[in-house]
Amino acid sequence: MFPLVRLVIPFVLGLVGANCLLRHVALPSDWLFVVLCVSACSLILLQAKKVKNQHYSRAFGIATYLFSFLLAFTLFAFRYQRLAESVPLPNQAIRARVLSLPIEKAKTYELLLRTDENASVLAYFVKDERAEHLQVDDSVMIVPKYVDATAPHLQTDSVFRSYQSYLFYMGTSAQCYVPKRNWQAINSRASSRIPSSFRSVQQNMHTIYQRAGLTGETGAIIEAMTIGNRTNLTKQQRRDFGNAGISHILALSGFHLNTFVVVLNLFFFLLPISIRTRRIATLCTLLPIIWVYAAIAGFPPSLVRAATMASLLQMLLVAGREYHLLNALCLTALIMLCWNPLQLMNVGFQLSFASLLGIALIVPMFVNQQSMKELYENSFKSVWLQVFRFFIGIILITLVCTLSTFPLVAYYFGQVPLFSLLSNVVATLLAYGIMAFSVLFWIFSFWQGAQTVIASILTALAKGMEWLTSFVSSLPHSTLSFRPNVVEVILLYVVIISFFVYIKKRTARPVIVLLVSVILFSLSRIVGEIA
């Protein structure tokens, strides 16, 4: 029923194995390609044998898993080595294109650049008026004074190792420092490219928000939740959202994309057309909208995942096929990881898929499909049932997502929010309001009076969100300081999986696995404290 799960597991193991090995050993790309070709040929031969003789079925299955593992290993190695080799040299002239607006630091402006060699570089320009006024798509000639490679096996600064690894897996090959006299702007702008054009659209939307009075900290929250621009969020805001356990609200995902889907479906629902015509019209309209929206936001992993799954859902609806969340999730993961294998090491990618995997596996254990259908049908008879169903859904999804992601959250951020359930219920209501009124804000962009009224409502909702995060963050013991290592993260997930397996099957084996995992976790923590 879920064939893609068996392909995703060896694929992910291949990516993890390649990442671990490439940190210490340089692998020859030619040999990897030869091994992959041999594996592919073996798979084809076994498929031909399987057609004539069913005894080869097991060998074919093993060959399929091996091919999936080697394919992932090879893709990751190629991408890793190509990015690691694209580091610019210090004290040499480099022509580059500006990809982001300047972000003000203490003594510098931070800009993301793309060199003519197609390398992504995070540059720090010493503060001056020229650097402050650089725009997206501007061309510059720089002579970097210091260059730090971000590839894990090339890092020299142990203090910023985690941040440099994060940059590398996001596609940035190096950081560099550019003094005032070591760069100049080139009059001609870079040739127009699709990614840069969408970044310009985001910049123009930011300007429109500013003109409407959506500025300061409230404006930063609205821009982060609607167009994916998080550069204006302050450190205190990020800290408060993290302590309140609602930092995922700021990361564009299926929650935000759902607003556009609902509005579009409501529009076509009101038209006097057949169901099939409605589905085809929704598909033809929805797909361009959600992918343009993802491009404007900069293709964050969580939004790409949501857009891919929404596209698959709409296509299956038109084809009249059944939609399985777990299969769709696995197919989406394969597509995204084949396109960019380094995404697996991105914390946003991991948290997004971990939360949805928890929803796909855990929620059906507690919510029977038939009972949900009855509740949904009865909710139309009573407003209170609709409200009850909405809040129960928020609480259940919040619990599942929190449980599915808390080992990763603790590993990457060193803390676990304790009031996330309470804050998520209120934050979800505010977020729905912000998303809905932001859609109205752009629909009525031609009417300045309506935009002014909507902007004031958005400001009030954003202030409510800011007050919520500040209040929860100020509560005593709002977070639990806890940073497990990789082994402890694995043991935590074994404990969670064993617990739910026991709830479903009611056998002794998962209890034994759970107890052994808890004992090993405790021993690991004790050894860590002693060391």
pLDDT for position 493: 92
Distance CA 260, CA 140 (A): 38
Tell me, what amino acid is at 44? I
H helix runs in 415-507, sequence order: 420-443, 448-474, 486-505
User: Is residue 132 domain-shared with residue 266, that is, in the same domain?
Assistant: no
Say if residue 453 is in the same domain as residue 326: yes
Per-residue pLDDT of 124-172, as tens digits, reads: 998 888 888 888 778 888 888 888 888 887 776 655 677 888 888 888 8
| Whole-number Å distance between alpha carbons of 353 and 340 | 15
One domain, residues 61 and 102 = no
518 falls within a domain? yes
The domain containing residue 270 runs over which residues?
A: 208-368+418-477
Is residue 89 assigned to a domain?
Answer: no
User: Is 392 part of a structural domain of the chain?
Assistant: no
Do residues 98 and 230 both lie within one domain?
no
Predicted confidence at residue 13, as pLDDT, reads 92
The tens-digit pLDDT sequence of the chain (531 residues) is 567 888 899 999 999 988 888 887 777 766 777 777 777 777 666 666 655 566 667 777 777 888 888 888 888 988 888 888 888 888 888 888 888 878 888 888 888 888 888 888 898 998 888 888 888 778 888 888 888 888 887 776 655 677 888 888 888 888 889 888 888 888 655 454 555 567 778 878 888 888 888 888 888 888 888 888 888 888 888 888 888 888 888 878 777 777 767 766 676 666 676 766 777 777 777 788 888 888 888 788 788 888 888 888 777 777 777 777 788 888 888 888 988 899 898 888 888 888 888 888 887 776 654 454 454 444 444 556 666 666 677 777 778 888 888 898 888 888 888 887 778 888 888 888 888 888 888 888 888 888 889 989 999 999 999 898 888 888 887 788 888 888 999 999 999 989 888 888 888 888 899 899 999 989 988 888 776
134 and 282, same domain (yes or no): no
The identity of residue 127, as a single letter, is K
Fill in the amino acid letter for 261.
Answer: V
CATH number at residue 108: 2.40.50
Same domain, 36 and 113: no
- pLDDT, residue 507, reads 85
CB 286, CB 264: distance < 8 Å: yes
Burial (CB < 10 A; 0-12, 13-18, 19+), residue 387, is exposed
Which distant-in-sequence residues (6+ apart) come within 8 Å of 530 by Cβ?
Answer: none
Residues 469 and 320 in one domain: yes
Residue 196 lies in a domain: no
Q: How many whole angstroms separate alpha carbon 166 and alpha carbon 109?
A: 20
The bridge status of strand 94-98 relative to strand 103-104 is unpaired
Of 254, 342, 346, the C-alpha closest to 304 is 254
How far is 199 from 210, CA to CA, in rounded Å? 17
Query: Is 129 part of a structural domain of the chain?
Result: yes
Provide the number of structural domains found in the chain. 4
CA dist., res. 80 & res. 342, Å (int): 7
> Which residue from 365, 357, 348 is spatially nearest to 304, judged by alpha carbons?
348
Are residue 98 and residue 153 in the same domain, yes or no? yes
- End of a domain among 136, 163, 191? 191
| Residue that is last in its domain, among 84, 118, 153 | 84
486's tokens? 């990789």
Report if residue 169 sits inside a domain: yes
Radius of gyration of the chain (CA): 25
The pLDDT of residue 46 = 63
> Do 511 and 502 form a contact (C-beta atoms < 8 A)?
yes
How remote is the C-alpha of 173 from its chain's centroid?
20
Whether residue 336 is contained in a domain is answered as yes
242 and 138 in one domain? no
Q: Which residue has the tokens 């796909």?
A: 360
Q: At what angle do helices 420-443 and 448-474 cross, to 10 degrees?
A: 170
Among 259, 278, 258, smallest CA distance to 268 is for 278
State whether 79 and 159 are in the same domain.
no
Specify the pTM: 0.82
Instruction: Give the separation between CA 175 and CA 123, rounded to whole angstroms.
Output: 6
Regarding whether 308 and 442 lie in a shared domain, the answer is yes
Task: Specify whether the CB–CB gap between 268 and 278 falls below 8 A.
Answer: yes
pLDDT at residue 55, rounded to an integer: 63
User: What helix, strand, coil percent values describe the chain, rounded to 5?
Assistant: 70, 10, 20
Q: Is residue 364 domain-resident?
A: yes
Single residue among 43, 60, 84 that ends a domain in this structure: 84
* Cβ neighbours of residue 136 closer than 8 Å, sequence gap 6 or more: 98, 99, 100, 101, 196, 199, 200, 203
Two tokens, residue 297: 């936001």
Measure the CA–CA gap between 227 and 204, rounded to whole angstroms.
11
> 506 and 464 share a domain?
no
| DSSP code string of 62-118 | HHHHHHHHHHHHHHHHHHHHHHHT-PPPTTS-EEEEE-S--EE-SSEEEEEEEETTS
